[in-house]
Amino acid sequence: MKYKLCVLPGDGIGPEIVAQAERVLGKVGEVFGHEFTCETHLIGGAAIDATGGPLPEATLAAAKASDAVLLGAVGGPKWDAIDKAVRPEKGLLGIRKELGLFANLRPARLFPELAASCCLRPDIVGQGLDVVVVRELTGGAYFGQPRGEEMRGGERVAFNTMLYAESEIRRIAKVGFETARKRGKKLCSVDKANVLEVSQLWREVVVEESKNYPDVELSHMYVDNAAMQLVRAPSQFDVIVTENLFGDILSDEAAIITGSIGMLPSASLGAGGPGLYEPIHGSAPDIAGKDLANPLATILSISMMFVHSFGLTDEAAAVDKAVAEVLREGFRTGDIMGAGKTEKRVGCAEMGGLVAERIRR
Ligand code: IPM
Ligand code: MG
């Protein structure tokens, strides 16, 4: 089969980690007999430097014409001081919106090989840590109108609107239920229904939708409690579904308790059209260009792409297996180095090469 990828390396460590993911992709193509063509385009700060804006027309057109999009990371201190309207992050938000990628799947799991880097006590982790955060990605306070800053009563005020239409809630709820159905069949919907009208509607619609999923056990949790429960007893969660801003926060929390934010991939999906795959970590400008970054989250994003965009489950399993093997053999980038004496420290490029070598049918 032939697949056309739009590759957006972005800023900071983005280009390094994406290069390693492309290397693994190339190897999967060789071993399984597929042809992956990668067309690279600008996004984020790199696009601002070259074109003046964070999401050039050419990038958007190429993304829309692709079978899937692979993204590195955007942003960095270099662009922090410029005009608020052209921040690198706007490129990412823009492409999510333009491609209609309303569902963001963020699996946070503790790799058994990296149990030592988990930052929770072993008795808290208990049966392990394996949560998927299903985050709504194109609504809520990130996009709601009106928004802005103005003068009121002689001082500056700023405002955003957290707004959800019933249809937006329903479609993300469905993704939550479907995701839970394929896993532990438990869905926790996180909201702030004790305070926010938008959360009250959220809860009503999720409950309505649950009638279509009698096999999935639904629970509700306020977001403050959910933040606490994630560190108190994370194994109670299977799938969490929540709105954009809560999901942004909780997915970082879920990720870091695994101790290996450099390991976690994500998928952003819409209704048909290309999906977008990216590591959940950021552009890490402090280590950019030094061959220190961990490419595994990006490599594992390729595995999610195989599953969700191409239906290539054997190929996905081959990637996951190769990563597990490399970890079992003790290879580590700096971010996942533990105290183990048998661990071998490697750079970004070597890590990518080690995974590629282990891709087998
Ligand atoms: C994320 C990031 C983005 C977000 C930023 C970079 C705009 O934090 O993907 O979680 O807030 O969605
Ligand atoms: Mg975030």
Question: According to CATH, what is the number of the domain 1-101+262-361?
Answer: 3.40.718.10
The CA angle 248-219-230, to the nearest 5 degrees, is 45
With respect to CATH, is domain 119-257 assigned 3.40.250.10?
Answer: no
Residue 34 to residues 27, 142, 303, 315, 323, Cα–Cα distance (Å)? 10, 38, 14, 10, 20
CA of 171 relative to ligand 1 center, distance in Å:
21
330-357 confidence digits (pLDDT tens): 999 999 988 777 899 999 999 999 999 9
The mean pLDDT value for 315-343 works out to 92
CA of 281 relative to ligand 2 center, distance in Å:
8
Annotated binding-site residue? 79: yes
Residue 13 pLDDT level (bands cut at 50, 70, 90): very high
Ordered by start, the domain boundaries in the chain are 1-101+262-361, 119-257
Residue closest via CA to ligand 1's atom 12 equals: 248
Give the separation between CA 243 and CA 49, rounded to whole angstroms: 32
Site residues for ligand 1, CB cut-off 6 Å: 75, 89, 92-93, 248
Residue 286 pLDDT level (bands cut at 50, 70, 90): very high
Higher-confidence residue of 61 and 337: namely: 61
Annotated binding-site residue? 252: yes
pTM: 0.95
Annotated binding-site residue? 345: no
Residues with catalytic roles: 142, 192, 224, 248, 252
* Strand residues in 98-147 grouped as ranges (E): 103-109, 130-136
CA quadruple 210, 137, 189, 208: dihedral, nearest 10 = -30
158-186 confidence digits (pLDDT tens): 999 999 999 999 999 999 999 999 999 99
Whether 119-257 and 1-101+262-361 are alike in CATH topology: the answer is: yes
Pick the closest to residue 89 from 127, 48, 59 (CA basis): 48
Burial 115-153 (b: 16+ CB within 10 A, else e): eebbebeeeebeeebbbbbbbbbbbbbbbbeeeeeeeee
Evaluate if residue 93 carries a pLDDT over 90: yes
94-131 confidence digits (pLDDT tens): 999 999 999 999 999 998 888 888 888 888 887 778 99
